[in-house]
Amino acid sequence: MSYERDNIRQMTGYTSGEQPVDASTLKLNTNENPYPPSPQVQVRLNDLRIESLRTYPHPTADPLRDLLAVTHAVHRENIVVTHGGDEALRLAVTTYVEPGAAFGMTDPSYSLYPVLAQIHGARVVKIALDDNWHLPRNFADELNEAGANLACIVNPHAPSGTLTDIDRISQLAESLNGVLLVDEAYVDFVDPALRYDAVRLVNAFDNLLILRTFSKGYSLAGLRLGYLIGAAPLIEPLVQKTRDSFNIDYISQQLGEAAITDRAYAEQTWANVRAARRLLRDDLVRLGFAVNPSQSNFLLVEVPLALPMTAEQIYLALKDAGILVRYFDTPLLDDKLRITVGTEGQNRQLINVLQTALNSCS
Ligand SMILES: *Cc1c(COP(=O)(O)O)cnc(C)c1O
């Protein structure tokens, strides 16, 4: 006898990337920032006093919301702080999607989306990307036709790294009948010369939510801190109704404040990652791989038939050598690897192992 609801029994859960126990493993599989968090975060951690944990934290993390509001030139009412970006996604699904109604996403995309939609009893509508990983022209029309209450797109896209430009985002927000959530988990790594900035659109559209996280850009994946930016009426029910009470613990609020206050440090890591991304891409192309242009901290690397190994064989060879990358065993991606950009030294280590593996097979 199973007591699970039907939809829970029928679904499979989210599978996260491997987290090795061996500290010597080079982790290039879950898109973490290769640099440590700001030293100011360590200072704040050292200053924490255990007595502070006796009382409940600020229920809506307003001091952190205010710092974020200043950072993004919006108001406190435009921001809800969440337990990782993942809680933000869950809140968006539970707040905006009628159970049974459609939830829209691209294929491929972040594999947590359909899991959250299925838990909620929503109908998942996946729209295929075009050959260059761009949104198809009919994206909004198809979702409107399906009656989607919410659509999530990742920008820059995961796992391709492709950036959708701001005009297209604005056009989508305009034409979708439901809420458009732009998941900007990787936006910190976008080349500033492109002048991509979707936050300035939030007060122009009453249906646009921007997701941000401290996990990638601020090297704080272990902390579980994210937030949404949107027009005040869109944010209000998340803050006042659907969020867990005290969803952000005191320690996370403190460390998040320290991280955002020392944003200059994080910005330097983003610049380093961009520089390393260029070099890594050049090196991979030199080895014979096809690499999609990426505005993220990872590269989607295609293994052409001309190379003596398949993507899966390379994934396994790297794993044997203590380097983890992501291999997706799905029809669209099974000839590709998603490789997180590491430090220049880590990337050189990867290239050396790849070179040796390929040479030994040819
Ligand atoms: C990492 C990531 C998130 C958010 O992750 P959290 O660690 O929960 O903040 C959201 N969307 C995508 C596509 C991601 O890669």
158 CB under 6 A from ligand 1? yes
Protein residue whose Cα sits closest to atom 2 of ligand 1: 185
Pocket probe mutation, ligand 1, options 153, 160, 183, max atoms within 8 Å of Cβ: 183
Task: Determine which of 15-19, 91-95, 115-119, 216-220 has the lowest per-residue pLDDT on average.
Answer: 15-19
Centre of ligand 1 to C-alpha 284, Å, is 26
Give percent of the chain above pLDDT 90: 96
* Mean of pLDDT values over 294-318: 97
Closest C-alpha to ligand 1, atom 11? 185
Give yes or no for residue 106 CB within 6 A of ligand 1: no
Question: In this predicted structure, what is the pLDDT of residue 362?
Answer: 73
- Out of 93, 215, 298, mutate this one to test ligand 1's pocket (max ligand atoms within 8 Å of CB): namely 215
Residue 23, pLDDT score: 85
217 lines ligand 1 (CB under 6 A): no
- 205 Cβ below 6 A of ligand 1: no
Confidence category of residue 294, pLDDT binned at 50, 70, 90? very high
- pLDDT digit string, tens, across residues 233-289: 999 999 999 999 999 999 999 999 999 999 999 999 999 999 999 999 999 999 999
| Residues 97 and 117 sit within 8 Å (Cβ to Cβ) | yes
- Binding site membership of 154 for ligand 1 (Cβ less than 6 Å): yes
156 pLDDT above the threshold of 90: yes
Tell me what the mean pLDDT of segment 197-215 comes to: 97
CA dist., res. 214 & res. 227, Å (int): 9
pTM as predicted: 0.97
Instruction: Reply yes or no on whether the pLDDT at 22 is more than 90.
Output: no
pLDDT of res. 1: 81
Q: Which atom of ligand 1 is nearest to the CA of 226?
A: 9
pLDDT in tens, 307-343: 999 999 999 999 999 999 999 999 999 999 999 999 9
- Specify the ligand 1 atom closest to the Cα of 158: 13
| pLDDT for residue 21 is more than 90 | no
SS (H, E, C) the chain: CCCCCHHHHHCCCCCCCCCCCCCCCEECCCCCCCCCCCHHHHHHHHHCCHHHHCCCCCCCCHHHHHHHHHHHCCCHHHEEEECHHHHHHHHHHHHHCCCCCEEEEEECCCCHHHHHHHHHCCEEEEEECCCCCCCCCCHHHHHHHHCEEEEEEECCCCCCCCCCCHHHHHHHHHHCCCEEEEECCCHHHCCHHHCCCCHHHCCCCCCEEEEEECCCCCCCCCCCCEEEEECHHHHHHHHHHHCCCCCCCHHHHHHHHHHHHCHHHHHHHHHHHHHHHHHHHHHHHHCCCEECCCCCCEEEEECCCCCCCCHHHHHHHHHHCCEECEECCCCCCCCEEEEECCCHHHHHHHHHHHHHHHHHHC
Mean pLDDT for 226-235 is 98
Is residue 221 lining ligand 1, measured as CB closer than 6 Å?
yes
Render pLDDT for 72-129 as a digit per residue (tens, 0 to 9): 999 999 999 999 999 999 999 999 999 999 999 999 999 999 999 999 999 999 999 9
214 Cα to the center of ligand 1, angstroms: 9
Judged against a pLDDT cut of 90, whether residue 20 lies above it is answered with: no
CA of 222 to the centre of ligand 1 (A): 12
CA of 253 to the centre of ligand 1 (A): 18
d(CA 336, CA 327): 7
Residue 220: predicted pLDDT: 98
Query: Residue 222's pLDDT band (boundaries 50, 70, 90)?
Result: very high
The preferred substitution site among 32, 80, 105, 110 for testing ligand 1, maximizing ligand atoms within 8 Å of CB, is: 110
Residue 336 β-bridge partners: 302
Average pLDDT score, the chain: 97
What pLDDT, on a 0 to 100 scale, did the predictor assign at position 40? 98
Instruction: Report in angstroms the alpha-carbon separations of 92 from 97, 207, 214.
Output: 8, 11, 18
**What pLDDT score does 181 carry?**
98
Ligand 1 center from residue 234 Cα (angstroms): 21
